[in-house]
Amino acid sequence: MPKWLDDAVFYEIYPQSFKDANGDGIGDFDGIIEKLDYIKELGCNAIWMNPCFDSPFRDAGYDVRDYKKTAKRYGSNEDLVRLFNEVHKRQMHILLDLVPGHTSEEHAWFQESRKAEKNEFSDRYIWTDNWFHSPEGLNYVAGESDRDGVYVLNFFKCQPALNYGFLKPERPWQKGIDSPEALATREALKDIMRFWLDLGCDGFRVDMADSLVKKDDEKKSGTAMIWQDIRRMLDESYPEAALVSEWNRPYLAIPAGFHMDFCLDWKGNCYNLLMRDLEDGKNNSFFHKESSRSVLDFFDEYLDSYEKIKEIGHYCLITGNHDTIRAAYYLENRELKLAYAFLFTMPGNPFLYYGDEIGMRYLSLTSKEGGYTRTGSRTPMQWDHTRNLGFSSADQDALYLPVDASEDAPTVEVQMQDPDSLWNVVKEILAIRRQQAALQENANLELVYAKRDERTFAYRRGNLLMVCNPSGKEAVIEEAVLKEPEKLFEIGTASYQDGRYVMGAQSFGIWAKKMR
Ligand code: NOJ
């Protein structure tokens, strides 16, 4: 486990929309460099940047055309290396987004692979051997190439699946995981990883990490074998490089070789219940003031996963990401403060999606670059009151996406000046996380108070106790978990009186055990 992950707090940057330094209407590496001090001041010491590679952008860059070349619109490879250096100068780290499961259909490998004549790349993707044979249970495209056969897709139509082999090959066109063809794909992936690690990146967020081996890999043992092999390479040659998986199954992802896995917003997932539970128009998200939920709806599932991996990896909570609807769509400011106080005091490395620190809103927009409903969560960062809210000096109609035009659109500038703002609460909690060893150590969490029919709950991490009451009514917890505790932080009114925690409406408190 790279040491720097002990206290890493990540800030996710969607490069299109963060900061445009050259005035062409789209964010760039230089813009990110300009804002590194901002990210540090907020309390994040690590970055995950969404794909920034050459691409036709039919899926916002998750359709890579050249893994070793940055997209011109963000800057050159040299500019990206400059960004790495600026990040490191500030004792920060940066993860790139690695897309191992598919490329763009415009990638040179695929252009070769689709040719009728056999060549080095014929088996880089998954093809059947006859135009009339479809691969059972997999999405595919037929009728688009000279080559006889159909090819398998990993996500959108523009994203043909790379061939990592099959666990139990049953048809002549299915290669084994250790076949020369599948190994060539795996080696090509390692080569890409080494390329960027040698240039100074600190690791990768891995897109659809569970998707490498298809169909017969329900238990994911085939996919895990491949990642374990890649992890061996990292351990030997890049021991400080970190890997975080988009997998949402830490008990599979961590043993497969990842250092961290995300708890995602997938439907029915426990994370959704906290902040994004909108069924039939009724908001029943746990942190919503009127919700009827108990926090056990979350913890029942979370703890099951957490307990399985807590000694060997990190299970990470997010405020949101480029695929989720912004949290501010479901929760208002005070609710967001409680939700973030919770997320940032839990085990694992927190991930804060750009703009969530000011409660940026979800905008209703037409799809851009394959974003569909996700587009409204990808709008330009709102910095200040200047042109385009400080995102870009370009004309409004040249912007990548429109900025929030509402009169009261939140901005960093305004919130920095207001001690009670969401931004300042985020900053304060992250500072406490940094100062308190107990909040950094992954393997320590005890849910000390939670009831099916109550909203208030308490959890302990080392010498610290966190109590939260998300409801609109005062609540009291009788169990005195810490003796004569010292209050470090509160939202609303949270007090300890004669062995009881008295929690005002919508409150959160952090107490430390008094050291004598
Ligand atoms: C997950 C990414 O987060 C998402 O944005 C993308 O569209 C798909 N994977 C396909 O790469």
Is the minimum distance from the CB of 489 to ligand 1 under 6 angstroms? no
How far away, in angstroms, is 207 Cα from ligand 1 center? 6
CB under 8 Å to 2, separation ≥6 — which residues?
A: 202, 203, 239, 240, 241, 242, 259
How far away, in angstroms, is 99 Cα from ligand 1 center? 9
**Chain mean position to CA 317:** 8
Residue owning tokens 């499961």 = 101
Q: How much of the chain is in helix, strand and coil states, percent to nearest 5?
A: 30, 20, 50
Atom of ligand 1 nearest to the CA of 102: 11
How many helices, marked H, and strands, marked E, lie in the chain? 13, 22
Q: Given this model, what pLDDT does residue 516 score?
A: 55
Cα–Cα distance measured from residue 488 to residue 39, given in angstroms and rounded to the nearest whole number: 23
220: helix, strand or coil? coil
Is the minimum distance from the CB of 323 to ligand 1 under 6 angstroms? yes
Mean pLDDT score across all residues of the chain? 96
How far away, in angstroms, is 479 Cα from ligand 1 center? 45
Is the minimum distance from the CB of 156 to ligand 1 under 6 angstroms? no
Is the minimum distance from the CB of 302 to ligand 1 under 6 angstroms? no
How far away, in angstroms, is 328 Cα from ligand 1 center? 22
Instruction: With a cut of 80, say whether residue 268 has pLDDT above it.
Output: no
Q: Interhelix angle for 180-199 vs 77-89, to 10°? A: 60
How far away, in angstroms, is 64 Cα from ligand 1 center? 12
In the chain the domains, ranked by start, together with CATH numbers, are 3-99+263-435 (3.20.20.80), 102-161 (3.90.400.10), 444-512 (2.60.40.1180)
Reported as a single tens digit per residue, the pLDDT across 205-247 is: 999 999 999 977 778 999 999 999 999 999 999 999 999 999 9
What percent of the chain is modeled with pLDDT above 70? Answer: 99
N-to-C CA span, the chain:
34
Is the minimum distance from the CB of 59 to ligand 1 under 6 angstroms? yes
Question: How many other CB atoms are there within 10 angstroms of residue 509's CB atom?
Answer: 26
Tokens standing for 229? Answer: 């092999």
Give the pLDDT band of residue 269 (cuts 50, 70, 90).
Answer: confident
Instruction: With a cut of 70, say whether residue 73 has pLDDT above it.
Output: yes
Reported as a single tens digit per residue, the pLDDT across 249-259 is: 999 999 999 99
Give the pLDDT band of residue 279 (cuts 50, 70, 90).
Answer: confident
Alpha carbons within 13 angstroms on the beta-carbon side of residue 172 total 4
Is the minimum distance from the CB of 62 to ligand 1 under 6 angstroms? yes
How far away, in angstroms, is 250 Cα from ligand 1 center? 19
Residue owning tokens 């501010």 = 328
CA proximity to 160, closest of 104, 223, 216, 87: 104
177 close to 225: Cβ distance less than 8 angstroms:
yes
Is the minimum distance from the CB of 208 to ligand 1 under 6 angstroms? yes
Cα–Cα distance measured from residue 132 to residue 149, given in angstroms and rounded to the nearest whole number: 7
Instruction: With a cut of 70, say whether residue 138 has pLDDT above it.
Output: yes
Residue type for 437, please?
A: A
Q: Interhelix angle for 180-199 vs 221-237, to 10°? A: 40
466 close to 491: Cβ distance less than 8 angstroms:
no
Is the minimum distance from the CB of 155 to ligand 1 under 6 angstroms? yes
Probe target for ligand 1 pocket from 323, 324, 372, 374, with the most ligand atoms within 8 Å of CB:
323
Question: How many other CB atoms are there within 10 angstroms of residue 70's CB atom?
Answer: 22
pTM for the full model?
A: 0.98
Alpha carbons within 13 angstroms on the beta-carbon side of residue 108 total 6
Beta bridge pairs of residue 202: none
Cα–Cα distance measured from residue 5 to residue 314, given in angstroms and rounded to the nearest whole number: 9
Reported as a single tens digit per residue, the pLDDT across 154-204 is: 999 999 999 999 999 999 999 999 999 999 999 999 999 999 999 999 999
71: helix, strand or coil? coil
Tokens standing for 225? Answer: 């074998």
Reported as a single tens digit per residue, the pLDDT across 391-450 is: 999 999 999 999 999 999 999 999 999 999 999 999 999 999 999 999 998 899 999 999
Residue type for 8, please?
A: A
How far away, in angstroms, is 447 Cα from ligand 1 center? 33
CA proximity to 482, closest of 467, 493, 471, 470: 467
Give the pLDDT band of residue 266 (cuts 50, 70, 90).
Answer: confident
Is the minimum distance from the CB of 502 to ligand 1 under 6 angstroms? no
103 close to 63: Cβ distance less than 8 angstroms:
yes
Residue type for 273, please?
A: L
Question: How many other CB atoms are there within 10 angstroms of residue 280's CB atom?
Answer: 5
Q: Given this model, what pLDDT does residue 389 score?
A: 98
Q: Given this model, what pLDDT does residue 185 score?
A: 98
55: helix, strand or coil? coil
What average pLDDT does the segment 136-162 reach?
96
188 close to 95: Cβ distance less than 8 angstroms:
no
Cα–Cα distance measured from residue 126 to residue 160, given in angstroms and rounded to the nearest whole number: 8
Cα–Cα distance measured from residue 512 to residue 516, given in angstroms and rounded to the nearest whole number: 12
Torsion of CA 492, 496, 500, 501, to 10 degrees: 30
Cα–Cα distance measured from residue 459 to residue 470, given in angstroms and rounded to the nearest whole number: 14
